[in-house]
Amino acid sequence: MKRILLIEDEPQIARFVQLELNHEGYEVTVANDGRDGLEVFKAHPFDLVLLDIMLPSLNGIEVLRRIRQLSNVPIIMLTARDSVMDKVSGLDNGADDYITKPFAIEELLARLRNLLRKQVSQTSVLSYKSLVLDLNQHECTVNNNQVDLTKKEFDLLHMLLKHKNQVLSRELLIEKIWGYEFDGTTNSIDVYVRYLRAKIEEPFDEKFIHTVRGVGYIIKDE
Amino acid sequence: MKRILLIEDEPQIARFVQLELNHEGYEVTVANDGRDGLEVFKAHPFDLVLLDIMLPSLNGIEVLRRIRQLSNVPIIMLTARDSVMDKVSGLDNGADDYITKPFAIEELLARLRNLLRKQVSQTSVLSYKSLVLDLNQHECTVNNNQVDLTKKEFDLLHMLLKHKNQVLSRELLIEKIWGYEFDGTTNSIDVYVRYLRAKIEEPFDEKFIHTVRGVGYIIKDE
DNA sequence: ATGAGATTTTAATAAACCTTGAATTGGTCT
DNA sequence: AGACCAATTCAAGGTTTATTAAAATCTCAT
């Protein structure tokens, strides 16, 4: 399922677009202002961004510029009718398309499909405190010290980091990393959490992975 | 088993939907007009509400508004085809999704499943006065003080908060949280209510959980 | 085919959690 | 008020769960 980030401050429009896109089978996350949008973008991977130009706290053009420093994710700008300046400015700064408000939802859908067809993947680095995980290089560092992880260890840490601030059940982890149904008899997860702790926590006197008894494991901000 | 409240005045449609949903394993209660629907909702806990917009005695939007004052139960609106106004109005007033009549039963089922499932990851925070329950992080705070809850305690509080303003019987709580039939001999619920009170009420001089003698427990707005 | 490293299983231990039942308190009805 | 029933409280003991170390198994490059 394609993930879309909608950065839009007008609640009715945001809600409406979100629901319509849900209906079409997209997974939509909404951010209400520019700063939020940028944060959310940094924290999660998206396949496409819908970005309003007029935004509180950090305007659309600025958000566009900053996202482009990080990623070449497809971006569609939402502009006011006849604001030629906005369009030009948006495209100049790396937007892939624009659509003027108010728009027919069908037109938006068409432009979405169009851009998503061309798309390539990205998102290469996840981090949390002194912990950095480079997905492309398959590398992990803590406090700038490189730590060698096996594939399973890496995948587990990847999963926990990708969904930080969310408790992940053993069931879900087994399903996503091992690829089979959790039958309740294996404690592989527990063992790998132990390995990770021994490699990335104990030597550096850090604490990343927390146990939530009866539920699962989580990496979370305080 | 998931409980669904269907508020719909056209008998054929109501009957049809009820049978189909029963067939899928849902327990369906039907109300024939807005006023009835609201009454039934207040009297029993439901996992989801299907709400027609065009209703006698109290229209759907008004019912929606009143239910939202009491609860954040997932609500799907049933709207006439092409009635954009209805959609917008519904979503503005807190509906979670809509479906246009006439609809294929399969689509309704898909949206039901979607909402019943997403509830976990989407509605991530429940709150009541100074009490906050973060479902993703599995964390509870009172007056911004973090309180450690065990799984059972958390599940019980979750249930009470999710259905706030509704009395939950011991039968229902045992069924939903412990997962077996209430045989009348266990007092586990009472004990856990005690634990919760000791953890989230007494230290903060608050009162969240009320006992309804002979019926069950409730968290309610004044 | 071999062996080093990776992965999974097993088992012991300790800690946290849950249940139970009996004693006590509190509310309700006549 | 007194009888009765429902709810509350408490602590002991029984159970479950997480952690850990170590052994068994698997896998892949040589």
What integer is the mean pLDDT of A15-42?
88
Indicate whether B171 pLDDT > 50: yes
For residue A214, give the nucleotide whose C1' atom is nearest its CA: D17
Predicted local distance difference test score (pLDDT) of residue A121: 46
Burial of A31 by CB count in 10 Å (0-12 exposed, 13-18 middle, 19+ buried)? buried
Secondary structure of residue A37 in the 3-state scheme? helix
Q: Is the CB of A186 under 7 A from strand C?
A: yes
A215: closest chain B residue by CA: B151
CATH architecture of B125-218: Orthogonal Bundle (1.10)
Predicted local distance difference test score (pLDDT) of residue A83: 56
Facing residue for A215 by CB, picked from B88, B121, B151: B151
Facing residue for B92 by CB, picked from A12, A22, A213: A12
Predicted local distance difference test score (pLDDT) of residue A71: 77
Indicate whether B64 pLDDT > 70: yes
To the nearest whole Å, the CA of B83 is away from the closest chain A CA by: 13
Predicted local distance difference test score (pLDDT) of residue B119: 43
Predicted local distance difference test score (pLDDT) of residue A125: 84
Instruction: Please report, rounded to whole angstroms, the spatial distance between the CA atom of protein residue B127 and the C1' atom of nucleotide C22.
Output: 37
User: Which positions on strand C lie below 7 Å from a protein C-beta?
Assistant: 5-11, 16-22, 27-28
What integer is the mean pLDDT of B27-54?
94
pLDDT tens, residue by residue, A54-103: 888 888 888 998 888 777 788 998 887 555 555 556 566 778 777 877 77
Taking CA atoms, B128 is separated from A126, B116, B160, B206, B221, in Å, by 34, 22, 11, 12, 8
* Structure token digits, residue B165: 């303003």
What integer is the mean pLDDT of B135-150?
94
Q: Evaluate whether A170 touches A181 at the Cβ level (below 8 Å).
A: no
- Per-residue pLDDT band at B129 (split at 50, 70, 90): very high
Predicted local distance difference test score (pLDDT) of residue A30: 92
Taking CA atoms, A24 is separated from A1, A19, A21, A105, B161, in Å, by 10, 9, 5, 11, 32
Q: Please indicate whether, in this complex, the C-beta atoms of B138 and A212 are within 8 angstroms of each other.
A: yes
The CATH number given to B3-122 is 3.40.50.2300
Residue A145 DSSP symbol:
E
- For chain A, the structural domain boundaries read 3-122, 125-218
pLDDT tens, residue by residue, B68-127: 988 889 999 998 766 556 655 666 677 877 788 888 887 788 778 867 864 433 457 888
What average pLDDT does chain B have? 89
Predicted local distance difference test score (pLDDT) of residue A92: 63
Instruction: Please report, rounded to whole angstroms, the spatial distance between the CA atom of protein residue A165 and the C1' atom of nucleotide C6.
Output: 29
Predicted local distance difference test score (pLDDT) of residue B97: 78
Predicted local distance difference test score (pLDDT) of residue B63: 95
Neighbours of A118 (CB within 10 A): 8
pLDDT tens, residue by residue, B8-33: 999 999 999 999 999 999 999 999 99
Predicted local distance difference test score (pLDDT) of residue B182: 85
For residue B185, give the nucleotide whose C1' atom is nearest its CA: C20
Q: Is the CB of A191 under 7 A from strand C?
A: yes
Q: Which residues on chain B are in Cβ contact (under 8 Å) with A165?
A: 136-137
Q: Is the CB of B189 under 7 A from strand C?
A: no
